[in-house]
Amino acid sequence: MEKQHLHYDVVIIGGGPAGLTAGIYAGRARLKAVLFERALLGGLATYTNEIVNYPGFPEGTTGLELMHLFEAQARHFGLEIKNTPVKAVNLTGDDKTIETFRTVYHARSVIIATGGKPRLLGVPGESDYLYDKGISFCATCDAAQCVGKTVVVIGSGDAAVEEALFLTKFADKVIMSVLHEEGHMDANAVAQEEALANPKMEFHWNTVVDHFEGSARLERVVLRNTKKNELEVIDADRCFYFIGYLPATEMFKGQINLTDRGYIPTDPHMRTNVDGVFAAGDVRQTCLRQVATAVGDGATAGYEVERYVAEMHIFEKQLMQKEKPGLVFVYSAIDEASRDLLPMVQEIEQHYDGRVKLSLVDTYKSVCLSARLGAAQPPSFVFTKDGQVVTRSIQTDRASIMRVLDGLVAEPVTA
């Protein structure tokens, strides 16, 4: 079956807090925007019954409730939402394609908000006690429920040891299952020292999780001592995994830069290394993965996409216009040398009496636009004809500029 082709300003992949927030901003900016979600709208946040650290809800809320509000707000601003997985993408060039089962979506820009999921162990009983039933992945989210309890922490890297220390502020006892020999952990030395000295912490060396036991909720974590091949049963109704997180970036491999752990590095504007491709939320290389941080990222990405699309429009319709030769003055409003040239540039435009189109690009405001022009540091000039860049110049004297323009206009004007 031939696939249908549709055109959008922006496609958002992923309907968690980051994607929905980006959708609110893109919709509010009146961009033609569509969001794809392959599972439950709301993402990982819907896995938790209680969210108490998202601002604005002093009594707390449930993940589902919060995400319903996000969805309603996004729809209110005109975001189209499609419950279907994105199967493939081509992120190169200005016409990016995003494929679902039946349709090829063409977009000027893409926001990747695909999040990810915590790494699992795959041991018996694990799938029965995930998330609200006892196996947690986020101390920041769930520590408050551990007051006065015994909890087990799996892992011995920086995150595991630091989060275990954090948990000691709530739990009575924090038991770490460590794969290595006594005294050896993968965390930094300072964290290790602090953990070993903490009276609330207990270490089970040379152990791995054998299985989990309980009824409706987790009741026991059963470890296996790999040296003695003996089981060690721990009564605990919470077990925290800090053994890594798997970002959902498989589909983008080879198309955008990824870290060695598969996260997407971005700049503070949420831009990836590919023009027009932004990333937001848990999928991004970042230090905290929470609803509040995903929302912040999504807002930035949605805002930046609007600027990007507007700049693309200016680039195509104004800077690359085909009616007459163009002179683009690339300047910086915060640079005195640039500002001093403005009167001369305007005089040159008047000199050609409507036969040259002058455009100004302020690199302070429009970094992308000057990059798209391939312009040098300001002040510099870009000359166009028939919708193409003919040449670029860093010569800022009147004679040099007019020499190029004389060659571009059909009949040179004599002063």
Binding footprint of ligand FAD on the chain (CB under 6 A): 13-19, 36-39, 43-45, 47-48, 51, 53-54, 85-86, 113-115, 131, 137-138, 141, 248, 251, 281-283, 289-292, 294
| Nearer to ligand FAD among residue 44 and residue 164 (C-beta) | 44
Whole-number Å distance between alpha carbons of 342 and 93: 33
Could you tell me if 263 and 272 are in contact, meaning their C-beta atoms sit under 8 angstroms apart? no
Could you tell me if 89 and 255 are in contact, meaning their C-beta atoms sit under 8 angstroms apart? yes
Tokens 């009276």 -> residue: 199
The CB-of-46 to ligand FAD minimum distance in angstroms stands at: 8
* Phi, psi dihedrals of residue 347, rounded to the nearest 5°: -65, -40
Q: Is 174 exposed, middle or buried (0-12, 13-18, 19+ CB in 10 A)?
A: buried
| Nearer to ligand FAD among residue 38 and residue 220 (C-beta) | 38
Nearest CA to 270 out of 115, 116, 37, 112 is that of 112
Give the tokens for residue 105: 């979506």
| Nearer to ligand FAD among residue 270 and residue 368 (C-beta) | 270
| Nearer to ligand FAD among residue 14 and residue 276 (C-beta) | 14
The CB-of-359 to ligand FAD minimum distance in angstroms stands at: 38
| Nearer to ligand FAD among residue 64 and residue 360 (C-beta) | 64
| Nearer to ligand FAD among residue 86 and residue 151 (C-beta) | 86
Nearest CA to 365 out of 400, 327, 314 is that of 314
The CB-of-279 to ligand FAD minimum distance in angstroms stands at: 9
The CB-of-297 to ligand FAD minimum distance in angstroms stands at: 7
The CB-of-144 to ligand FAD minimum distance in angstroms stands at: 9
The CB-of-4 to ligand FAD minimum distance in angstroms stands at: 18
Could you tell me if 185 and 178 are in contact, meaning their C-beta atoms sit under 8 angstroms apart? yes
Q: Is 44 exposed, middle or buried (0-12, 13-18, 19+ CB in 10 A)?
A: buried
